Amino acid sequence: MVLVLAQVVLLLSFTLTGSITQPTLWSQVEASGDDGDWRNRTIDPALWVDGPELEGSPMDEPRLGDPVIIINVSYVPGHLQSRVEGEIVIELFEEWAPITVTNMVEHIEIDLYDGIFFHRVIDDFVTQGGDPECTTLGIYPSTNLACGSGGTGETIPIEFNENLSHVDGAMGMARGQELDSADSQWYIAETEAHNLDEENSSSGGYATFGVVRDGMRHVRLIALTPTSDDPTGLPFLQNPASTAGRPVYEVHIDSISMLGVVGENSSLDQDNLNGSMNQVSAAYGVAFLLVVVMGFVVFFVVMAMVSTAIVRHHRGQEIIQMNAANLGKSFFKYGMFWPVFAILFSFGVYTTFTAEDYFENLFICMGYIVGVIICIIAWVIHLNTTTGVQLSVSLTTPKGGTEPPQ
């Protein structure tokens, strides 16, 4: 009982530690609603660490004063995986696409996109959303019949600019067959898609007006989520005919807000940022090692107590004096399941600290507890049997090692 309680207390501490949500880069730059004051909030480009692949485009460099938006999403990366929450930060190129950017900002300020879902996901291409008709009715995927073809009814002319193209992470406007038919729907390119540029498209091309600056990993994970025409969600089993896949699990847009405008670079350059991140990683490594050592010490002490209890049980009323050295010798001699425990413990701690979802942490810890309990039961049975046999032999064999007289 003591053993189980010790393990439960220890593992609950891991669960609580692992479930703490790490502060996001934007925890200090809260968009206090779409209050119209967002132009007075500046965003430091040095904070952007998870961007797309660069290719030497004019879109690579942030432009001072450009609007910055933040998309709060939640999604399920694959089957049997927990829901993930994330933030995607996008810079809008107001100088190069003023009409399109104004259209997007106006829709954000009236909360048009809050609560809808991404209705079209194609791996290694684009992820499309922005249709106000695409809301869940009851249980997903139940939705409005107009989902995928809806909008506000107000279209804008297409805007091309020599500085804008479909680079990795580009944000573009969806449209119908007519060039000037873009409304509220938009998409994010999960990889470069220059076949959609004006000069490469047989249908006239599509207009881009922004690019992901942070949170690109969420775009890539959403692109891999299982869809109606590519249900595996595996990159090496892509369906070449997947052109309009509806995600199997809702890719929910919790909200889109105006975060602020691009500000000046701070003294926090990329080298310093990488150094800071390395220091944080080192600190987590030390904490991880201390937790592992603490777990081994607790496990050693508890199992030593179990060893003593088993030996005393087999010897009846005889009192055994077992010092620390004897306890350690007994434990390592009979602890054939020590390596198994070490593997379970390390894996449990690692996955608990790296999981992003509280219930995922809890599920991992419960599975770990069950595994450790099974390991302990097997170890106790082994020690109990071995000790019983050894004591039986010691009670029938003289100290000199000779056989007893017949």
Residues 103 and 183 in one domain: yes
Q: Does any domain span residue 34?
A: no
Residues 56 and 201 in one domain: yes
Residues 245 and 345 in one domain: no
Residue 161 pLDDT exceeds 90:
yes
Q: Does any domain span residue 235?
A: yes
138 Ramachandran zone, left/alpha/beta (phi>0; psi -120 to 50): left
Residues 116 and 211 in one domain: yes
**Rounded to the nearest 10 degrees, what angle do helices 270-314 and 358-396 cross at?**
30
Residues 285 and 261 in one domain: no
pTM above 0.75?
no
Domain containing 147: what range?
A: 45-265
Q: Does any domain span residue 12?
A: no
Residue 321 pLDDT exceeds 80:
no
Residues 249 and 299 in one domain: no
What's the pLDDT score for residue 230?
A: 81
- The H or E element containing residue 170 is strand 170-173
Residues 233 and 111 in one domain: yes
For residues 86-106, give the mean pLDDT. 97
Residues 185 and 70 in one domain: yes
Residues 253 and 184 in one domain: yes
Q: Does any domain span residue 403?
A: no
- Sheet hosting strand 186-189, strand order edge to edge: 42-43, 252-262, 67-75, 84-92, 208-214, 170-173, 186-189, 126-129, 120-121
Q: Which residues lie across from 68 on neighbouring strands? A: 91, 260
What pLDDT digit, counting tens, does each position of 19-45 carry? 333 334 444 444 444 557 899 999 999
Which of 216, 236, 265 corresponds to the end of one domain? Answer: 265
Residues 328 and 248 in one domain: no
CB 133 within 8 A of CB 139: no
Q: Does any domain span residue 311?
A: yes
Q: Does any domain span residue 271?
A: no
What pLDDT digit, counting tens, does each position of 186-212 carry? 999 999 999 999 999 999 999 999 999
Which of 239, 265, 291 corresponds to the end of one domain? Answer: 265
Residues 310 and 235 in one domain: no
65 vs 281 pLDDT, higher one: 65
Q: Does any domain span residue 105?
A: yes
Q: Which residues lie across from 251 on neighbouring strands? A: none
Which of 203, 231, 265 corresponds to the end of one domain? Answer: 265
CA dist 255 and 245 (Å) reads 22
Q: Does any domain span residue 177?
A: yes
Residues 228 and 164 in one domain: yes
For residues 49-58, give the mean pLDDT. 95
Question: What CATH number is attached to the domain comprising 68?
Answer: 2.40.100.10
